[in-house]
Every structure is written in structure tokens, then in C-alpha cells.
Amino acid sequence: MSIWSKQASPPLYIYGTEANRFITSAVQYFPKQAKIAAYEEKEGANAVFLAKLGHQITVYDSTSSGLAKVQLLARMNGVSIITIRADLIEYELPQETYDGAIMVFGHFQHKFQLVILEKIMNSIKLNGVFMFEVYEYAQLLYKTGGPNEMAYLYNAEDILRWARRYKLKHYFTGEVEQYEVSFQTNTRRVIQVIVEK
């Protein structure tokens, strides 16, 4: 189960209703009207952003409260999104189904991280694109959000090694400025990846 599973209940949008800056800056990697899976989407801002661009979106999240927020935000924005409650550690994802996938701050225990990334890659078609942003180990020192246990953060070298198994389109690890409704703007340490299958 995700580290986020006990958070978030409607109607407050803890993470805001604006899409993640990394996702909005990289959306051109997806073909038009793509079939995209959004994993561990939490409250739906990224999914709604993509749906408003004309993409067909399926959201996978481990919490019913998160999925309720996704549907509410979708209705507020006049778009339709499919939602599926799924613990990615246990859930068998469909194979070669999506044109692309996203995951923003989907944090799992270290022993499951690469397994889940691989499951997501298997869920997209050949030439499909997977983009994700997660917190790097050093984020624990910043104390500006994310998991407060090292076991749920990501090792940048492990992620780069995994990403190089595919067509690596973008890799970044370092500081970014992020804003959430319930927090001030903070500097955080992240890993950003875009890979093509």
C-alpha cells in the first residue's frame, strides 16, 4: 500500500487542482488523443489536465477517497475519466494497453519500486511513453514534503540504471520549486524521468 493511502478525503484538495509542472512541460511526448494511465494519481489534477487536452484517461489509485476527488474534479471541469481502485503492489495491470502513463509522487517501499515501474511499462504499448516524478533520497533532509522514511524514497542511480533499459528521453535529479495548497512554496529534491518503450 502507498505511503499516501491514509491521506486525503473530500472535499479539500490538499495538493491543489493545478497539474504538476513536470507533466505540463512534457505533455508533447504523448500523441494526440492518447490513451493514458495515471498511476497513484491521488486527487486528479494531472488526469484532468490531460483529459482536457483530449486524451482518454484511466486513473489507478489505492484510495477510494482519492478516486472520489478525481471524479469530482473531472465533473467540475467537464471531462470524463475512468477510475480504478488498485494497490499496485498486488494488482495485475492490463498488458500493452495504453499509449502512455504518468506517475507523480507514487511512493512505495524500496523493494517494490522497480517492480512497480516495470509493471507500468508493461501496461503501455510499444513506443509508448512513461513519465514520472518521485522524491529522491536527499529529500529527507529538506523536510518540505513527501515520505518521512528513507525506505519510501528513491535512489537516483537505481532509477537511472532502470531507465536506461528503455529509450531514455529525459532524466533529471535535483532541486525544484513546488507549491501545494496546504503548504508554502518549497524547494524539494526530485527525480524526473521520461522513457519510451
Q: For residue 160, is pLDDT > 90?
A: yes
Strand partners, 191: 134, 173
The answer to whether the CB of 144 falls within 8 A of the CB of 186 is yes
Tell me, yes or no, whether 16 lies in a domain: no
pLDDT-derived band at 147, boundaries 50, 70, 90:
confident
Average pLDDT score over residue span 175-193:
77
Tell me, yes or no, whether 5 lies in a domain: no
**Residue found under cell 505511503:** 3
Structurally, how many domains does the chain consist of?
1
Tell me, yes or no, whether 14 lies in a domain: no
Tell me, yes or no, whether 2 lies in a domain: no
pLDDT in tens, 36-67: 999 999 889 999 999 999 999 999 999 898 89
Tell me, yes or no, whether 15 lies in a domain: no
Average pLDDT score over residue span 104-132:
97
pTM listed for this prediction? 0.89
**What's the sign of the alpha-carbon dihedral 180, 26, 171, 92?**
positive
Tell me, yes or no, whether 139 lies in a domain: yes
Phi, psi (deg, nearest 5) at residue 24: -65, -30
pLDDT-derived band at 6, boundaries 50, 70, 90:
very low
Residue 180, pLDDT score: 55
pLDDT-derived band at 187, boundaries 50, 70, 90:
confident
Residue 42, pLDDT score: 85
User: Percentage of residues in the chain with pLDDT exceeding 90?
Assistant: 77
Strands in 56-61's sheet, in edge-to-edge order, are 82-85, 56-61, 35-39, 98-104, 124-135, 186-196, 167-178
More confident residue, 144 or 34: 34
Average pLDDT score over residue span 97-112:
96
**CATH number of the domain to which 25 belongs:** 3.40.50.150
More confident residue, 43 or 120: 120
